Amino acid sequence: MNLVLMGPPGVGKGTQARYLVEGRRLVHISTGDMLRAAVASGSELGQKVEAVLAAGELVSDDLMMDLVKDRLQQPDVAGGWLLDGFPRTGAQAEGLIGMLEEIGQTVDAVLVITAPDEEIVRRLTQRVTCRVCGKIMNRKDLDPARPGVCPACGAETDPVTGKAAIYQRDDDTEATIRRRLQVFATETMAAARVLQGRFPYHEIVGTGTPDEVARKVADVLG
Ligand code: AMP
């Protein structure tokens, strides 16, 4: 099964992606994760996109399409994939349709998770992630006596980089979040409209607990 998961930042896409990937044995292709890994590694791509990510703007369509086309042709994704964070513009959506035709693949469902902007700003300014186990949490999930320790895996520092395990993403500041929401409403919803005409398409309200949203997702996927 090949899925496209869309939604504004902080809507719970990452959490739903985890459920889907584990439950349906899909390979998670997150363009945001790929770009952040490039920035962290200091690669040529990373240096090119670092400032764009920090500002909450979009990386160029050409660069993103090359990145995704290359990834979709790697052997490990042949059993099914979940595309998270791509497409983000109408041009990327058209590009995706074209590249899938070219490589003989299709999309079984497009899932768009939605939530009110104010709910998202509230969630994202509180969002923290563990560098070691990857768990995404709310600050209130941390132990007030040991706020630097991941409640999921117990790590305090990342053994690879030596950095603190618990961190807030650079682009999770209120100004950047509002800019990313604006970009979502204009650019990414245009991408959704392009895909809506082509593949099975579902909009899901992302308020409620992660399990409640997962149930709605499972219902539409059947
Ligand atoms: P995400 O983790 O999906 O929220 O992505 C973080 C940031 O990476 C975005 O704010 C963009 O700067 C960049 N990015 C990720 N995916 C794309 C894409 N498909 N097109 C352009 N920029 C992207």
Q: What is the CATH number of the domain that holds 33?
A: 3.40.50.300
Asked if residue 31 is part of any domain, the answer here is yes
**Long-range residue pairs from 155-164, CB within 8 A, at least 24 positions apart, any chain:** 155/130, 155/131, 158/131, 158/132, 159/132, 161/131, 163/131, 164/131
Structural domain harbouring 18: 2-115+175-221
**Residue pLDDT, tens place only, 8-65:** 988 989 889 999 999 999 999 999 999 999 999 999 999 999 999 988 889 999 999 9
Q: Output the residue whose Cα is nearest ligand 1's atom 11.
A: 58
How many domains does one find in the chain?
A: 1
Q: Is the CB of 86 under 6 A from ligand 1?
A: yes
pLDDT for the residue numbered 172? 87
Q: Is the pLDDT reported for residue 149 higher than 90?
A: yes
Q: How far is the CA of 36 from the centre of ligand 1 (A)?
A: 9
Report d(CA 139, CA 128) in Å as an integer: 6
Rounded average pLDDT over 141-161: 96
Residue 171 pLDDT level (bands cut at 50, 70, 90): confident
The response to whether residue 180 sits with its C-beta less than 6 Å from ligand 1 reads yes
Report if residue 197 sits inside a domain. yes
pLDDT digits (tens, 9 = 90+) for 70-100: 999 999 999 999 999 999 999 999 999 999 9
Query: 97 in a domain, yes or no?
Result: yes
- C-beta 10 within 6 A of ligand 1: no
104 falls within a domain:
yes
* 180 falls within a domain: yes
Asked if residue 169 belongs to a domain, the reply is: no
The pick from 88, 180, 183 for probing ligand 1's pocket by mutation, whose C-beta has the most ligand atoms within 8 angstroms, reads 88
Buried/exposed 156-184: b ≥16 CB within 10 Å, e otherwise: eeeeeeeeebbeebebbeeebbeebbebb
CA of 143 to the centre of ligand 1 (A): 31
- The SS3 assignment for 27 reads strand
- Which has the closest alpha carbon to 148: 172, 132, 171? 132
- Report how far ligand 1's centroid is from the alpha carbon of 39 (Å): 12
Q: Whose CA is nearest to atom 14 of ligand 1?
A: 32
Distances (CA, A) of 169 to 69, 177, 188: 27, 11, 21
Is pLDDT of 222 > 90?
A: no
Nearest residue CA, atom 19 of ligand 1? 86
Active site members: 13, 88, 127, 169, 180
Length of the chain: 222
Instruction: State the burial class of residue 110 (Cβ atoms within 10 Å of its Cβ: 0-12, 13-18, 19+).
Output: buried
Contact between 120 and 181 under an 8 Å Cβ cutoff? The reply is yes
- Is 8 near ligand 1, meaning CB less than 6 Å away? no
Cα–Cα distance measured from residue 7 to residue 10, given in angstroms and rounded to the nearest whole number: 8
Q: Is residue 57 part of a domain?
A: yes
Return the closest-CA partner of residue 8 out of 146, 131, 188.
188
Whether residue 10 lies inside any domain: the answer is yes
Ligand 1, atom nearest to 60 Cα? 21
Phi, psi of 139 (to 5 degrees): -50, -30
Contact 99, 69 (CB under 8 A): yes
Ligand 1 binding pocket includes 88 (Cβ within 6 Å): yes
Q: What is the pLDDT of residue 56?
A: 84
- Separation of alpha carbons 121 and 11, rounded Å: 10
